[in-house]
């Protein structure tokens, strides 16, 4: 038996931990529990760096909106009145609820005790994400029927209102793409968790997916006052 084979054997008899250890943590000169703890810490650290870069990506878009709104306040109020606040508020409630189920799924998986609860909450999260996209689809249909697409047949007289709706379409589509990726990642966890009873237990992939999901929710939390609340009192 070569030294590499000895190296690869479980040192502590944790076959399920060993199965979830990945390179480079599987090569660490420690016991598997310590290596797995470091893998978890590395995964959390890595996703937060990605989320910080997403904050800057959406921050730049939000700043563009802010500058355009400061320069065209009346037109942005008139344009904001045209969005459907019922769909917008409903979708905000749907996403906030999906963050609750995602948080419970992540914390339940972290404890490693409640597989059925984790799977149920992941399924609820994916379903709520799909519900958001369905509501958004109905909203898009209404927006198109009301000629709220910037261009030749735009509904509003003020030209800067087109800047508002250019931002509206760009940022809601970018958000919907992010959410679709999130639904895909959650569905992947459900599929793997159903096949392998030990997959979800303490798996850092659940926490990483959850943190991404929460960020997509937070982006919408800020889009809500930007897109749906301007000009309501006027």
Partner 1 sequence: MSTGHETPSDLWRRNLPVWVALMALLALSAWAAYWPFGRIDTAVGFAVAGVKAALVALVFMQLRHASGLVRVVAACGLFWAAILFTLTLADVLSRMVNR
Tell me which of 72, 83, 92, 125 binds partner 1, using CB under 8 A: 92
Tell me which of 45, 145, 151, 195 binds partner 1, using CB under 8 A: 45
Interface with partner 1 includes 49 (CB under 8 A)? yes
Interface with partner 1 includes 225 (CB under 8 A)? yes
Interface with partner 1 includes 131 (CB under 8 A)? no
- What's the min distance (Å) between Cβ of 44 and partner 1? 6
Nearer to partner 1, 31 or 54 (CB): 54
Interface with partner 1 includes 33 (CB under 8 A)? no
List the interface residues with partner 1, window 150-169 (CB under 8 A): none
- What's the min distance (Å) between Cβ of 153 and partner 1? 28
> What one-character-per-residue DSSP string does the chain give?
--HHHHHHS-SSS-HHHHHH--TTGGGSSS-HHHHHHHHHHHHHHHHHHHHHHHHHHHHHHHHHHHHHHHH-HHHHHHHHHHS-HHHHHHHHHHHHHHHHHHHHHHHHHHHT--HHHHHHHHHHHHHHHHHHHHHHHHHHHHHHHTT-SSSTT-S-SSTTHHHHHHHHHHHHHHHHHHHHHHHHHHHHHHHHHHH-TTSSTT-HHHHHHHHHHHHHHHHHHHHHHHHTSTTS--
- What's the min distance (Å) between Cβ of 126 and partner 1? 17
The count of residues interacting with partner 1 (CB under 8 A) is 50
Nearer to partner 1, 51 or 149 (CB): 51
> What one-character-per-residue DSSP string does 148-198 give?
-SSSTT-S-SSTTHHHHHHHHHHHHHHHHHHHHHHHHHHHHHHHHHHH-TT
Interface with partner 1 includes 224 (CB under 8 A)? yes
- What's the min distance (Å) between Cβ of 101 and partner 1? 9
Interface with partner 1 includes 139 (CB under 8 A)? no
If we measure between CA atoms, which residue out of 202, 34, 36 comes closest to residue 106?
202
End-to-end CA distance of the chain: 80
- What's the min distance (Å) between Cβ of 218 and partner 1? 5
Interface with partner 1 includes 48 (CB under 8 A)? yes
- Can you give the binding site for partner 1, defined by CB under 8 A? 41, 44-45, 48-49, 51-56, 59-60, 63, 66-67, 70-71, 85, 89, 92-93, 96-97, 99-100, 102-104, 107-108, 110-111, 113-114, 117, 210-211, 214, 217-218, 221-222, 224-225, 228-230, 232-233
């Amino acid at each position: 038996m070569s030294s590499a084979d000895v190296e690869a054997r479980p040192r502590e008899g944790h076959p399920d931990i060993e199965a979830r250890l990945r390179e480079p943590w599987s090569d660490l000169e420690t016991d598997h529990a310590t290596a797995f703890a470091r893998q978890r810490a590395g995964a959390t650290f890595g996703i937060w760096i990605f989320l910080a870069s997403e904050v800057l990506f959406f921050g730049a878009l939000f700043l563009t909106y802010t500058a355009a709104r400061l320069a065209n306040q009346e037109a942005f109020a008139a344009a904001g009145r045209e969005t459907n606040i019922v769909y917008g508020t409903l979708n905000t409630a749907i996403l906030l609820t999906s963050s609750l189920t995602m948080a419970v799924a992540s914390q339940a998986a972290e404890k490693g005790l409640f597989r059925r609860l984790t799977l149920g909450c992941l399924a609820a999260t994916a379903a709520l994400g799909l519900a958001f996209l369905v509501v958004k689809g109905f909203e898009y249909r209404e927006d198109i029927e009301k000629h709220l697409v910037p261009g030749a047949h735009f509904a509003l007289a003020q030209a800067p209102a087109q800047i508002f709706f250019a931002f509206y379409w760009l940022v809601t589509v970018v958000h919907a793409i992010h959410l679709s990726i999130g639904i895909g990642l959650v569905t992947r966890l459900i599929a793997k968790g159903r096949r392998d009873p030990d997959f979800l237990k303490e798996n850092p992939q659940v926490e990483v997916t959850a943190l991404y999901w929460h960020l997509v929710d937070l982006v919408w939390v800020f889009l809500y006052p930007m897109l749906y609340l301007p000009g309501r009192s006027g």
